[in-house]
Chain A
Amino acid sequence: MTTSYRVMPGPEHFLPPSAASMGIRLPDPGQGSIHGTIVTEEEAMEQAARQLLSAKVPTIFPGPLVLWAWNEKAAKKAKAIRYLYETIKESVDSSQHAMLIPMPDYRPKYPKINPEIEINPNHPNLTIWHNKIDACIFVGVHCHQANLSLKIIRGGTNCYTIAMCAQAGHEDAMLSIRDTTADKLIRLAEWVKKLKGSVPPPV
């Protein structure tokens, strides 16, 4: 199916469609996707680094799959995420504010979430609006919950979404990398380091 639909920062619609229903397809192993277009994984890595460096509030949202040390891989990935966060923090200028906000579980938070300390897939907008987040990375979030959030974020915010998925990727994110391991997270950090100073900060 050929499609002219592109997965772009919103706010898109009262109820934006799922990208899959608009003909956007997931990348194969070794590939990534940017706005729904299939690219090489390396191109996706570079573009992700550029987005993070040019954002006012680049933020990582680690999910339960990497927040708890339920196996060796998860613990290794958590360390790589911390390294990526520290790298972004060191690579942006003083007008930018890198954040690391966890998604510890998927329970809807009522009567009110504390958006300064967590994000929730059922109402992710609240955390994004409160912290003025304009670029984010989802990592370690179960795929269904990630897609749920990514669609809601696209519908109601202008945040640029990046999915570092351990499985097949996310067509509802503006940029997606699949089969994410700790090594790939470190590779992204290396891209951030490499491009430091060459990407203009936000106006």
Chain B
Amino acid sequence: MAAQASFIGQKNKKEQVYTDPWHMMNEAARTPSFFTGSEVIKEAVRRASCDIMVAYPITPQSEAAALCGELFAEGYIGDYFRGESEFAVMSQCAGAAFGGARVFTTTAGPGTMRAMENFPMWAGARLPIQMIVTCRGINSPLSIQPDTLEIAYLMQTGMLVWHAETAQDFYDWILKGYMVSEEPDVHLPLALCCDGFFVTHTKDMVDLTPVDMCLPPYDPYRSPVPCMDMECPPVRMMRDPFVMKSNYISYATHASWQQEVWAAVERSRKHTIRWMDGLIDTENADADVIVVASGTAVSQSREAIAILEDEGIQVGLVKVKTLRPWPGEEIREATKHAKHIIVPEFNVIGWLAREVRSTVQNNERVHAGPHVCGGMTMPPEIIAAEIKTVLGVKAPSLAGRGG
């Protein structure tokens, strides 16, 4: 931190002042602005002192990659280039991070899946790359509409995985994300996810930090692994005994290495709680029915809860902000009095419900649903109907016209 602190108060080439991140995020005056989610990504990156962005901007899911290209042209990003494919992009991000750069990229849906091999490699190599994931459908038939299935895969990679609800979350968490993921005891990549289209393409009021303030630069000398040492693991992979030898100590090394990645995810809790004011937010947690949701399912649930409140039904809400680290203890505490736990999701498999089921006691309380997928919207009324069904209250069908 000493090296970063030495930059504070100095100016970069765009006349932005390297600012104490806590002051910048929590104390500096904010300006309300009306932006799309993609534009918000651009504004956050403008203030993030990124050294390199690599992009494969074919995806229609977000304009962020192209907008960051404009930032490069304006001089706010050190370097910017287009990879040959999503896989190439993520490999190039790794190269840049191995070399000690602060790296930013974006992807979505099939692009995430194509590049998937890189993500456990990033985590294993302890590279604090930030990747925005504007989730969209991944299966055939393809869809450019939001679907959060790809998050289920990212959660097993050893990356930090956060799920933003709103453009405001997105803005704040991009900047705070670097502060958490670059801590030497964490030093992991961050997949900062949102439900594409809903967050990226719609406009919202977002309070921005001053444009003349930016984060202090990344200090690679605090890294828990040496920068780009071609003779040592993790860069030197194939010639090393992890791969080539079959004996106890080689296995122990590899196993211990994997444990260390997940230990780093655990260590991120302390920093994440400080920066994000907890891993979850709760509303009315004393209610008999609690909705546990992440991403825009939180917004829809909030609307559903308002509908039910008008009918005299009290429902609480748990907004899950981070999926890795998983807020198990927090969810157990927030739902301990609940008779029913409702988990609405924008995907077909219900990965959040699985996680919640494996977390809470008496998990027959967990109701996986409602689910929508393939880009379908989730009207608040279907969440309200699910809750009524669970409570044994008659709810009208929302789609049928029946005779």
Binding site for B on A (CB under 8 A): 1, 15, 17-21, 25-26, 64, 105-108, 110, 122-123, 125-126, 142-145, 147-148, 151-152, 155-156, 167-169, 171-172
Contact = CB atoms under 8 A, between A and B. Distances in A.
Contact of B226 (A20, A106, A169): A106
A15 B251 CA distance: 10
B253 A21 contact: no
B231 A123 contact: no
A59 B252 CA distance: 23
A122 B249 contact: yes
Interface string B225-254: 110010111001000110001000110110
A147 B329 contact: no
B222 A64 contact: no
Interface centre among B253, B262, B267, by most A CB within 10 Å?
Answer: B253
A142 B224 contact: yes
B78 to A, nearest CB: 23
B222 A167 contact: yes
A105 B255 CA distance: 20
Nearest to A71: B221
Given A143-B184, A167-B185, A148 B249 contact: no
Given A125-B249, A156-B252, 10 more contacts: A17-B259, A21-B262, A25-B270, A26-B267, A105-B229, A106-B226, A106-B233, A107-B231, A108-B253, A167-B185
B252 A107 contact: no
Contacts of B249: 122-123, 125-126, 152
Nearest to B234: A144
Interface string B252-274: 11011101101110110010000
Given A26-B185, A107-B231, A167-B185, A123 B253 contact: yes
B223 interface: yes
A168 B183 contact: yes
A25 B271 CA distance: 12
Nearest to A149: B256
Interface string B123-154: 00010000000000000000000000000000
Given A25-B270, A64-B226, A155-B252, A18 B262 contact: yes
B161 to A, nearest CB: 17
Contacts of B233: 106, 108, 122
A143 B224 CA distance: 4
Nearest to A147: B260
Contact of A122 (B184, B226, B229, B241): B241
B255 A147 contact: no
19 contacts: A18-B262, A18-B263, A20-B263, A20-B264, A21-B262, A26-B270, A106-B232, A107-B232, A107-B236, A108-B233, A122-B241, A123-B253, A144-B225, A145-B224, A145-B225, A147-B256, A148-B257, A151-B259, A152-B252
